[in-house]
A and B are shown apart, each in its own frame.
Chain A
């Protein structure tokens, strides 16, 4: 058994290692070392916890068993999961952090002596507030992430679910969470604690159902942030520095990512949270514009265009992930490069279903990361480029965001693909993207639509090169 002071110092060390883990992600070269620091920090935190309790009785065996069960499941998932399913995986992991926070809060409430927080029915006020916050935020994270997971997995429709009186009901529930917490602090009644957790689960569920598929990058980042705040709440309860530091890091990390994602869509965080985006416009815009002429081509045309180009920019989007076309795309690019054509990739901040989604898929397909550029880095290059190859992206290229103040995506930063000499669009149909709006680019003179599955089309083009 080691002293409380010594273990506090070790917790501080593991907190610092976690900071270094995030710091390492500033560049791919240092990132692997960063991940190692993270693992080291975790090993230290767990070891110190065992040593500080010093109770190596039969309970210890069960701790190891449960640790092992979880560890095996986690390792199995980590090795089996396809890279395209990363958003679902991250949403699933968030839900587990949330639920773990709830369970720890419940344990602390039922057995406060174990944590030095007082006795049942007579828990220190500060601790009670802290564990309530940890439990509430954890519950919201859990049920919210479950919904996000179901939507991303396609088990639940990605379209927003809205009903009348949604916002007043949510507001009412949020107020009641505050009221119940207050009453809980007055009475210390276990029933109120259960009610508090139950309504928190409910509000997490209700907050996420009205949010549509295209807003998922914001939702995932937001839930990431919540899982951090939940951990911090529990950290205060347990008076544990490692947990407080980590909670704060994760909380601010998720908040920053949400901000970046919102900026990438030119939407306020608040309007994303209120949800419903993409539900209304979808029905109104489809009818009238169908008659406009569209030039469509096949793989041969596309191959011809690209063979005669000297530079090509690839613009990947969610459709590439759905079609699992990243490997086929890389092969096509290899062939182009053999013909001395310069190829780069342009990634919009909100392409895909989570921050950095496209980068991971391209990395999986062995695309070197120094050929992949962010929007600001590459947007000026479109004007000097012969062909833009848009694969599975739509809204992020829509010029209406720059020209049409009526458009729901007006003001959103977009990739200037229309400035290229010609634009190739791989798409399954003319259907609008997630924002539910038509893309004028489809009808432009220099646009060639390639209606097909992204993977199949890319393979066919390679054959024709």
Chain B
């Protein structure tokens, strides 16, 4: 009997939760705010679903209800992707070590 592909996806999911658990515990508390902004950015990889939805309309009817929701979701996710990564970068650039010459 064949295994349902869902089970494989579930395995990936469960194992990723454990990876997330150990990786996030090792994040230094002083970087918890960048952690939140970067998780924001990466969870916007949901844009792949939005792109599929946006491109699903056929050529004579690009804008049907489904693809319009797709297009809107593309914009929302893009705000997050660009905003999230850039603001994280801006924050991380500020974390500096003590200058030794003082």
Asked if residues A248 and B27 are in contact (CB atoms below 8 Å), the reply is no
Interface membership of chain B positions 41-66, coded 1 if the CB is closer than 8 angstroms to chain A and 0 otherwise = 11111111111111111010010111
Asked if residues A62 and B54 are in contact (CB atoms below 8 Å), the reply is yes
Which residues, 3 to 50 on B, are CB-close (under 8 Å) to A?
Answer: 5-6, 9, 12-14, 16-21, 23-50
Residues in A neighbouring B89, C-beta threshold 8 A: 32, 35
Q: How far is the CA of A26 from the CA of B78 in the complex (A)?
A: 26
Contacts A62-B54, A243-B49, A369-B30; A221 near B20 (Cβ below 8 A): no
CB nearest neighbor in B for A22: B23
Residues in B neighbouring A46, C-beta threshold 8 A: 47-48, 51
- Per CB-CB distance, the 6 closest pairs between chain A and chain B, nearest first, are A70-B78, A356-B32, A114-B56, A74-B83, A74-B82, A107-B53
Asked if residues B83 and A93 are in contact (CB atoms below 8 Å), the reply is yes
Asked if residues A22 and B50 are in contact (CB atoms below 8 Å), the reply is no
Q: How far is the CA of A49 from the CA of B73 in the complex (A)?
A: 15
Q: How far is the CA of A349 from the CA of B26 in the complex (A)?
A: 16
Q: How far is the CA of A60 from the CA of B71 in the complex (A)?
A: 11
Residues in B neighbouring A67, C-beta threshold 8 A: 47, 74-75, 78
Asked if residues B80 and A356 are in contact (CB atoms below 8 Å), the reply is no
Asked if residues B70 and A103 are in contact (CB atoms below 8 Å), the reply is yes
Interface centre among A18, A69, A236 (most CB of B within 10 A): A18
A198 proximal to B (CB < 8 A): no
Q: Could you say which of B34, B44, B71, B81 contacts A360, with CB atoms under 8 Å apart? A: B34
Q: How far is the CA of A255 from the CA of B53 in the complex (A)?
A: 30
A contact patch SS: helix
Contacts A108-B49, A359-B29; A96 near B80 (Cβ below 8 A): yes
A336 proximal to B (CB < 8 A): no
Residues in A neighbouring B35, C-beta threshold 8 A: 22, 25, 253, 257, 355-356
Q: How far is the CA of A24 from the CA of B54 in the complex (A)?
A: 33
List 30 A-B residue pairs with CB atoms under 8 Å apart, sorted by A's residue number. Answer: A21-B42, A22-B35, A27-B28, A28-B31, A42-B81, A46-B51, A75-B83, A77-B79, A78-B83, A97-B77, A100-B80, A107-B66, A111-B66, A114-B56, A224-B39, A231-B45, A231-B46, A236-B9, A239-B5, A239-B9, A240-B48, A246-B43, A248-B14, A251-B20, A356-B36, A360-B91, A368-B98, A369-B95, A370-B97, A374-B30
Contacts A103-B70, A243-B45; A78 near B90 (Cβ below 8 A): yes
What's the minimum C-beta distance from B98 to chain A, rounded to whole angstroms?
4
Asked if residues B28 and A28 are in contact (CB atoms below 8 Å), the reply is yes
Residues in B neighbouring A81, C-beta threshold 8 A: 87
B1 proximal to A (CB < 8 A): no
Residues in B neighbouring A300, C-beta threshold 8 A: none
Interface centre among A69, A96, A231, A238 (most CB of B within 10 A): A96
| Chain A count of residues within 8 A CB distance of the other chain | 117
Asked if residues B24 and A22 are in contact (CB atoms below 8 Å), the reply is yes
**How many residues of B sit at the interface, in one of the four size bands?**
35 or more
Given pairs A71-B81, A89-B87, A111-B53, 8 additional interface contacts (CB within 8 A): A18-B45, A22-B27, A66-B74, A69-B75, A107-B56, A238-B52, A354-B33, A355-B33
Residues in A neighbouring B45, C-beta threshold 8 A: 14, 18, 41-42, 45, 231, 242-243, 246
Interface centre among B6, B20, B28 (most CB of A within 10 A): B20
Contacts A14-B45, A96-B76, A359-B30; A74 near B86 (Cβ below 8 A): yes
A-contacting residues of B (Cβ < 8 Å)? 5-6, 9, 12-14, 16-21, 23-57, 59, 62, 64-67, 69-99, 102
A329 proximal to B (CB < 8 A): no
Asked if residues A42 and B21 are in contact (CB atoms below 8 Å), the reply is no
What's the minimum C-beta distance from B70 to chain A, rounded to whole angstroms?
5
Q: How far is the CA of A70 from the CA of B71 in the complex (A)?
A: 10
Asked if residues B79 and A366 are in contact (CB atoms below 8 Å), the reply is no
Asked if residues A31 and B83 are in contact (CB atoms below 8 Å), the reply is no
Asked if residues A247 and B43 are in contact (CB atoms below 8 Å), the reply is yes
Q: Could you say which of A26, A45, A245, A257 contacts B26, with CB atoms under 8 Å apart? A: A26
Contacts A59-B55, A114-B66, A355-B36; A372 near B13 (Cβ below 8 A): no
Asked if residues B21 and A73 are in contact (CB atoms below 8 Å), the reply is no
Q: How far is the CA of A356 from the CA of B48 in the complex (A)?
A: 30
What's the minimum C-beta distance from A128 to chain B, rounded to whole angstroms?
13
Residues in B neighbouring A455, C-beta threshold 8 A: none
Q: Could you say which of B17, B66, B69 contacts A248, with CB atoms under 8 Å apart? A: B17
CB nearest neighbor in A for B30: A359
Which of A50-58, A206-214, A278-286 lies at the binding interface? A50-58
Q: How far is the CA of A70 from the CA of B30 in the complex (A)?
A: 30
Asked if residues A77 and B83 are in contact (CB atoms below 8 Å), the reply is yes
Q: How far is the CA of A364 from the CA of B99 in the complex (A)?
A: 16
Asked if residues B74 and A21 are in contact (CB atoms below 8 Å), the reply is no
Q: How far is the CA of A236 from the CA of B9 in the complex (A)?
A: 7
Asked if residues B13 and A248 are in contact (CB atoms below 8 Å), the reply is yes
Q: Could you say which of A228, A250, A357 contacts B33, with CB atoms under 8 Å apart? A: A357
Asked if residues A90 and B40 are in contact (CB atoms below 8 Å), the reply is yes
Asked if residues B40 and A107 are in contact (CB atoms below 8 Å), the reply is no
Asked if residues A31 and B31 are in contact (CB atoms below 8 Å), the reply is yes
Q: Could you say which of A39, A237, A355 contacts B32, with CB atoms under 8 Å apart? A: A355
Asked if residues B17 and A251 are in contact (CB atoms below 8 Å), the reply is yes
A220 proximal to B (CB < 8 A): yes
